[in-house]
Amino acid sequence: MKNKNPVWKFFVSVKLTVFLLLSLAATSVIGTIIPQNADPEIYFHKFGPFLFRLFEVLDIFDMYHAWWFQLLLFLLITNIVVCSIDRLSATWKLVFPKKIMFNLARFEKLKNKEAFSIDGLPGELEDKYTSFAAKKFGRQQVDKTGDGFVLFAEKWRWARFGVYIVHASVILLIIGAIIGSLFGFEGFANIPEGESVDSVRLRNSGRVQPLGFTIHNEDFDISFYDTGAPKEFRSSLTILENGQPMLKKDIIVNDPLRYNGISIYMASYGEMAPEKQAEHDFSMEIIHLNFTIKSSGMVYKRKTEIGKPVNIPEGNGTFTLTAFNPDAEFRGQNIGAALAGTLSPVQGEPMEVLLPLHFPNFDKMRRGAVVISVADQQKETFSPMKKEDVRYYSGLEVNRDPGVWVVYSGFIIMIVGCFITFFMSHQQICIEVMRKGNKSDVRIMGIANKNKIGMRRQVEKFAKHLANMR
């Protein structure tokens, strides 16, 4: 009745499986070549307006969560479920038959049979052979024939279920993933040393997720190898509920803290921005500039103020300061206080130049004929902060995933299932013994539902063993 349904027929096909697996493999490549979930601006610059629009419509920039990719996964799961159900009843009947029937004719059709002749009558061999078969195979049956006996034995009939176990494990993985995405969250929190949070920001939506407890960051520590490579990131955390400390733990990468089903991971760290010192306002003052001429290597100091052009020595044009910015940015990086000016070379277009007060070498990056910097900046403004003064924050990944145990059981079941599917087969052997004068003729045949070469080799081994049995 099932087979009549066209939907069922569509999903029961292994052609569909092959198509879906290859489509998933091929499309998955896209997301490894185009970095996922980056800034739209970056994509726009890289691909131009047309491709950008097209890729955006197809969700290429977050393709593993795109509707069409999820649809492929959904079709694969449906395919797995339908195929498994469709074939399960036949396998079930094979594994749990009303009565296990051995059929000599099935064995006689085999190409590979082992045969030998041995001293002794069938009656004398029967006990030895049955105990051998019992040891190697377990379940067995002996049928008397006119001038001897036929011994059937088998093992691992249930191994026919192996592939269903693998399929069930895949379904468990998907269920676990769905549970995780419905009832879990992925958040993060940057906690400065000595401070606490009781909520985190979610990665995908940016929403604030209350935790129901407080995470206090006592201390962050970083240690290095003598090569300079980082050795350990360590945050000493305390969990508090209603102001009462409940749990204390130092977390490092690979050793998270778990509390109330929420896991807290050591993910990143950073230095706190130093306390802002009030910057001196230059806008109304006389400013000294240093001009370093590349060709001669000479450094000239010139006095100027904002709005007043100054001649650059050695005939390199003019320079005019235009503005002072106490909090300037360069390519999105904060570079502190800076003066801006216009450089007008003798030949070529005038250009904007930025002179950060704290980085006298900054203008070298421009690779011009002249390097301009602000002279006489007080030394202490530049000196880097002493190590012990640096205040860190711990970047914590804070997640809840109630589906993870379903996924993990799926993992274990998948390994067990693969092992059974690949390396265990339903094996049956048949040993036929016939009297021939004072001797017996013995034939051995074996059937397996998988790994036929292995079965053939096993039958050869048994034949050798039985021929030498005394």
Partner 1 sequence: MNSSQLLSFVTFMYGFAATFYIAAWIFKQTMPAKLARWVAIAGILMNAAGFILRWKESYDIGYGHAPLSNMYESLVFFALTIGIIYLFIEIRYKATVVGAFATPIAFLAMAYASLSPNVSDKIQPLIPALKSNWLIAHVVTCFFGYAAFAVAFGISIMYLIKSWAPDKESGILARLPGLNDLDELTHQMIMFGFLFLSIGIITGAVWANSAWGSYWSWDPKETWSLITWFVYATLLHARTMRGWYGKRIAYLSIIGFGAVLFTYFGVNYLPGLHSYGAV
Interface positions with partner 1 (CB under 8 A): 14-15, 17-18, 21-22, 24-25, 28-29, 31-33, 35-36, 64, 177, 186, 225, 227, 229-233, 252-256, 263, 265-267, 397-399, 401, 404, 407-408, 411, 414-415, 418-419, 422-423, 451-453
By beta-carbon proximity to partner 1, the closer residue of 222 and 346 is 222
Shortest separation between residue 108's beta carbon and partner 1, angstroms: 22
By beta-carbon proximity to partner 1, the closer residue of 21 and 100 is 21
449-453 long-range contacts, Cβ below 8 Å, gap at least 24? 449/159, 449/160, 449/425, 450/425, 451/423, 451/425
The string of DSSP letters for 151-193 reads EEEEE-GGGGGHHHHHHHHHHHHHHHHHHHHHH-EEEEEEEET
Shortest separation between residue 221's beta carbon and partner 1, angstroms: 12
- Which residues, listed in sequence order, are joined to residue 118 by a DSSP beta bridge? 440
Cα–Cα distance measured from residue 96 to residue 1, given in angstroms and rounded to the nearest whole number: 23
CB-based burial label for 96 (10 Å; 0-12, 13-18, 19+) = exposed
By beta-carbon proximity to partner 1, the closer residue of 235 and 428 is 235
By beta-carbon proximity to partner 1, the closer residue of 38 and 100 is 38
Shortest separation between residue 332's beta carbon and partner 1, angstroms: 19
- What residues contact 212, with CB distance under 8 A and at least 6 apart? 198, 241, 260
Shortest separation between residue 252's beta carbon and partner 1, angstroms: 7
By beta-carbon proximity to partner 1, the closer residue of 257 and 310 is 257
By beta-carbon proximity to partner 1, the closer residue of 63 and 125 is 63
Q: Output Rg (C-alpha) for the chain, integer angstroms.
A: 39
Shortest separation between residue 25's beta carbon and partner 1, angstroms: 4
By beta-carbon proximity to partner 1, the closer residue of 426 and 435 is 426
Cα–Cα distance measured from residue 421 to residue 424, given in angstroms and rounded to the nearest whole number: 6
Query: Do the Cβ atoms of 269 and 256 come closer than 8 Å?
Result: no
For the chain, give the longest Cα–Cα distance. Answer: 127
Per DSSP, the three-state class of 425 is coil
Residue 67's alpha-carbon distances to 130, 307, 314, in angstroms, are 60, 58, 65
Shortest separation between residue 430's beta carbon and partner 1, angstroms: 23
Shortest separation between residue 24's beta carbon and partner 1, angstroms: 5
Q: Which amino acid is residue 433, in one-letter code?
A: V
By beta-carbon proximity to partner 1, the closer residue of 265 and 319 is 265
- H-helix segments, 293-427: 379-382, 404-423
- Which residues, listed in sequence order, are joined to residue 300 by a DSSP beta bridge? 291
Per DSSP, the three-state class of 234 is strand
Instruction: Select from 114, 115, 129 the least CA-distant residue to 470.
Output: 129
**Cα first-last separation, the chain:** 57
Cα–Cα distance measured from residue 279 to residue 292, given in angstroms and rounded to the nearest whole number: 26
Shortest separation between residue 189's beta carbon and partner 1, angstroms: 12
Cα–Cα distance measured from residue 447 to residue 104, given in angstroms and rounded to the nearest whole number: 11
- What residues contact 4, with CB distance under 8 A and at least 6 apart? none
Shortest separation between residue 368's beta carbon and partner 1, angstroms: 33
By beta-carbon proximity to partner 1, the closer residue of 85 and 306 is 85
By beta-carbon proximity to partner 1, the closer residue of 292 and 399 is 399
Shortest separation between residue 29's beta carbon and partner 1, angstroms: 6
By beta-carbon proximity to partner 1, the closer residue of 19 and 300 is 19
Shortest separation between residue 404's beta carbon and partner 1, angstroms: 7
Shortest separation between residue 418's beta carbon and partner 1, angstroms: 5
By beta-carbon proximity to partner 1, the closer residue of 371 and 414 is 414
Query: Do the Cβ atoms of 198 and 213 come closer than 8 Å?
Result: yes
